[in-house]
Amino acid sequence: MRVYLDNAATTPMDPAVLKEMTQVMESQYGNPSSIHAHGREARSLIEKARKTVAGLLHTSPAEIFFTSGGTEADNTAIRCGITDLGLKFAITSKLEHHAVIHTLEAMEKNGLIDLKFVDVDSKGHVNYDQLEEMLQNQGRTFVSLMHANNELGTLTEIERVGDICEKYDAIYHCDTVQTMGHYPHDLGKLKIHFIACAAHKFHGPKGVGFLYVNHKVKIKPMIYGGAQERNMRGGTENIYGIAGLAKALDICYTEMEEHRQHIQGLKTYMKQQLEEAVPGIKFNGETDEDKSLYTVLNVSFPEMDMGDMLLFNLDIAGISASGGSACSSGSNIGSHVLTAIGASPDRPSVRFSFSKYTTKEEIDYAVAKVKDICLVNA
């Protein structure tokens, strides 16, 4: 048996999305920048997808720009947002994805910004009072705080952050890669200037995402070339990827509550089963259902022989999981997120993450294998 519990890294594509993309690949091969009929048909498809996304998020199609994924969207928001808006200060947390932290650190290294980190507690919650205090004592600032941490699942109160940023005229960028398609986002109400999305996190294709840019801010392109994406991103559009993204997001919004109940039930069940199977187990991040991403469960196991081989042993047992962010796979540094919340480096940690396709039988199989591995290495 092979069990996939690494959906925070990427999700299997929905068959309806694959069907939509296949139809586009077979019939819509025109260049959307061309003025002839084939080009106009391709352009129409892109704009239809843009309207679908904008409609689901309660915003204007003019504020949605398709990208190659979440990393490009984050980089564009950060680099262009800071540079083009003339900002000299930035605030983030040690829990952000490397697409955010490394970009901001590179800008600081080049002397473009003064970068500060807001404190987080042992569950991964931002210190909101400190954030406000920091904004009070410096000039106009770029704030980048994600909606849900990709390793812990801890949710940030983005409405609260938005209110704080508005109070001090700060620019707010939010990485919503882990929550897009899993939670409703009403951009007509949220006080956010930029959000980033990647389709492969909600059963869409890899290599495509989008950046939301609030109409109140004006930035220049990060990628120059042609006039694509209304002069905001050069390069011929990934037509079938964009169609797949829109289809995947539409399915997510249609089935969101049903899938949330299913996945939350599996997460709660696995947590209970692991507590019974492995004495001394701990859970990283927020455990309150209302404050935690329902697709992620981060587990710290008791110290054991060959603890650094736990993921390898799980893989041999037929279980695909992660030690943290998939972007750090192969690194010997360890998880910067677990370090930031003070997790013990001596306890091996595993991130199990679920999707609508995960079953109770798969959870039972995974827990049984985890128990066997822990007993052997105790």
- Taking alpha carbons only, the member of 133, 170, 142, 145 closest to residue 93 is 145
Beta strand extents in 114-223 (DSSP E only): 114-117, 141-144, 171-175, 194-198, 209-213
- Give pLDDT, residue 308: 77
Strands 209-213, 64-67: pairing is antiparallel
- Taking alpha carbons only, the member of 144, 209, 208, 205 closest to residue 171 is 144
Band (328; pLDDT cuts 50, 70, 90): very low
Q: Are residues 215 and 268 in the same domain?
A: no
Domain total for the chain?
Answer: 2
Per the rule left: phi > 0, alpha: psi between -120 and 50, beta: everything else, 55 is: alpha
**CATH classification of the domain holding 222:** 3.40.640.10
Per-position b or e across 43-73, b if 16+ CB within 10 A of its CB:
bebbeebbebbbebbebbeebbbbbbbbbbb
Q: Are residues 142 and 155 in the same domain?
A: yes
Q: Are residues 212 and 335 in the same domain?
A: no
Over residues 295-321, the pLDDT tens digits come to: 999 999 988 766 678 899 999 999 999
Per the annotation, the verdict on 174 as an active-site residue is: no
The string of DSSP letters for 224-268 reads -SSSHHHHTS-S---HHHHHHHHHHHHHHHHHHHHHHHHHHHHHH
**pLDDT at residue 170 above 70?**
yes
Q: Are residues 189 and 82 in the same domain?
A: yes
**pLDDT at residue 169 above 90?**
yes
Q: Are residues 174 and 311 in the same domain?
A: no
Q: Are residues 157 and 282 in the same domain?
A: no
Q: Are residues 201 and 298 in the same domain?
A: no
Answer yes or no: are the C-beta atoms of 245 and 49 closer than 8 Å. Answer: yes
Over residues 95-151, the pLDDT tens digits come to: 999 999 999 999 999 999 999 999 999 999 999 999 999 999 899 999 999 999 999
**pLDDT at residue 323 above 90?**
no
- CB count in 10 Å sphere of residue 339: 12
Q: Are residues 350 and 205 in the same domain?
A: no
Band (345; pLDDT cuts 50, 70, 90): confident
Q: Are residues 90 and 215 in the same domain?
A: yes
Q: Are residues 365 and 345 in the same domain?
A: yes
- Give pLDDT, residue 330: 47
- Taking alpha carbons only, the member of 138, 135, 142 closest to residue 82 is 142
User: Token pair of 360, please?
Assistant: 């109770």
**pLDDT at residue 181 above 80?**
yes
- Give pLDDT, residue 280: 92
Band (326; pLDDT cuts 50, 70, 90): very low
**CATH classification of the domain holding 278:** 3.90.1150.10
- Give pLDDT, residue 377: 67
Task: Please list the residues that pair with 319 across neighbouring strands.
Answer: 3
Q: Are residues 235 and 301 in the same domain?
A: no
The overall average pLDDT reported for the chain is 94
> What's the domain range around 278?
3-11+256-377
**pLDDT at residue 156 above 60?**
yes
Over residues 69-105, the pLDDT tens digits come to: 999 999 999 999 999 999 999 999 999 999 999 999 9
**pLDDT at residue 276 above 60?**
yes
Q: Which of 198, 233, 251 represents a domain boundary (last residue)? A: 251
Q: What's the pTM value of the predicted model, to 2 decimals?
A: 0.94
- Taking alpha carbons only, the member of 298, 241, 323, 295 closest to residue 123 is 298
Q: In what helix (H) or strand (E) does residue 149 lie, and over which residues does it extend?
A: none
Using CA atoms, how far apart are residues 115 and 104, in angstroms rounded to an integer? 7
**pLDDT at residue 331 above 50?**
no
Using CA atoms, how far apart are residues 293 and 352, in angstroms rounded to an integer? 12
Catalytic residue among 80, 165, 252, 327: 327
- Give pLDDT, residue 43: 97
Q: Which of 251, 285, 304 represents a domain boundary (last residue)? A: 251
Using CA atoms, how far apart are residues 126 and 92, in angstroms rounded to an integer? 10
Q: Which of 233, 251, 269 represents a domain boundary (last residue)? A: 251
Q: Are residues 316 and 345 in the same domain?
A: yes
